[in-house]
């Protein structure tokens, strides 16, 4: 009967002989691991690669270090996942040719890194501003009118997201409902909000606001850039004012308060009225087609 220690010694000796005598799986595993590391460098993490390939992380780590050579089944899975030929992986004389898939993934990874870098910016500052707001802005197709919408800022997966509901006045026979979803970022001394209209899927809106430096969150002001829903869908910019409502509100009541108002309507906060009148004294900037 052979002891465990003796078996380990024999195995080490056999491995050393194989390394010196032949280019077997040990060398192949080394060549493969180098190619795998090159492919993995295109991704944000090894965990992301393992999820894509549906291969156990511990097992894949052995492939990366050259300790284990993959089975034929796993080789095919790896090649398909990375968008390369099996021959490119196993043949030491062949290099990994850049595939369209790898180029696309590299581009997406670059954009993902930029988005992660930009959003949410200063998360600590943004967390103090989470909750519901009534957003007010001027519209180019109705002089002296103010649109009020409901905005909700909330945190999800370490990002600050937004949901916005915009509707016409309840006095109108036909009401138009617009719904937006987006993300917010705190960069420098400004809050940036980028939103996509989810019902018609044809509009992106950006708002830039100054944060409140008061102890009690109250009103945020800035500019919004969007597109009208009228005729030519004109791009326009308008001063904007958000009035903080709280982290818990009666949604039905606050949505019901949304719509179109005249600038002198007593339901508009006097501070917001003054801000919109002074900053938007010449009306919102609107551009039509040539």
Query: Using one digit for the tens of pLDDT, what is the confidence trace for 14-45?
Result: 344 334 433 444 455 668 888 888 888 777 78
How many CB atoms are located within 10 Å of the residue 150 CB? Answer: 21
Using CA atoms, how far apart are residues 192 and 184, in angstroms rounded to an integer?
Answer: 6
Query: Using one digit for the tens of pLDDT, what is the confidence trace for 207-264?
Result: 999 988 777 899 999 999 988 766 567 888 999 999 999 999 999 999 999 999 999 9
Residue 179 has pLDDT above 50, yes or no: yes
DSSP string covering 219-253, please? EEEEEEEEE-SSTT--EEEEEEEEEEEESS--HHH
What is the helix, strand, coil percentage profile of the chain, to 5? 35, 30, 35
Torsion of CA 113, 117, 123, 126, to 10 degrees: -110
Q: What is the DSSP letter of 121?
A: B
Q: Is the peptide bond before 120 cis (omega within 30 degrees of 0)?
A: yes
Residue 189 contacts residue 138 (beta carbons within 8 Å): no
Six token digits for residue 26:
């040990």
Query: Using one digit for the tens of pLDDT, what is the confidence trace for 38-97?
Result: 888 777 788 878 888 888 889 999 888 888 888 888 888 888 888 888 888 888 777 776
**Long-range pairs, 163-170, Cβ under 8 A, ≥24:** 164/135, 164/195, 165/255, 165/258, 166/258, 167/255, 167/258, 167/259, 168/259, 168/260, 169/259, 169/260, 169/261, 170/256, 170/259
């Amino acid at each position: 009967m052979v002891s465990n220690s003796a078996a380990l010694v024999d195995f080490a000796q056999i491995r050393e002989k194989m390394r010196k005598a032949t280019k077997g799986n040990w060398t192949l595993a080394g060549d493969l691991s180098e190619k795998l590391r090159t492919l993995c460098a295109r991704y944000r993490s090894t965990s992301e690669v393992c999820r894509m390939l549906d291969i156990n992380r511990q097992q894949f780590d052995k492939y990366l270090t050259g300790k284990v050579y993959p089975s034929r089944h796993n080789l095919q899975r790896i090649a398909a996942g990375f968008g390369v030929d099996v021959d490119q992986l196993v043949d030491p004389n062949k290099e990994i040719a850049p595939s369209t898939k790898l180029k696309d993934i590299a581009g997406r990874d670059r954009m993902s890194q930029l988005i992660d870098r930009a959003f949410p910016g200063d998360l600590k500052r943004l967390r103090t501003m989470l909750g519901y707001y009534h957003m007010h802005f001027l519209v180019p197709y109705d002089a002296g009118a103010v649109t009020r919408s409901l905005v909700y800022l909330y945190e999800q997966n370490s990002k600050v997201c937004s949901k916005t509901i915009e509707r016409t006045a309840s006095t109108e026979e036909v009401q138009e409902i617009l719904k937006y979803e987006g993300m917010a970022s705190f960069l420098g001394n400004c809050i940036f909000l980028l939103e996509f209209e989810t019902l018609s899927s044809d509009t992106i809106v950006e708002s830039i606001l100054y944060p409140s430096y008061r102890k009690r969150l109250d009103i945020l002001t800035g500019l919004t850039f969007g597109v009208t829903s009228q005729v030519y869908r004109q791009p326009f910019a308008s001063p904007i004012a958000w009035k903080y409502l709280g982290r818990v509100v009666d949604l039905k009541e606050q949505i019901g308060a949304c719509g179109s108002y005249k600038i002198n309507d007593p339901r508009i906060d006097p501070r917001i009225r003054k801000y919109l009148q002074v900053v938007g004294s010449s009306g919102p900037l609107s551009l039509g087609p040539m």
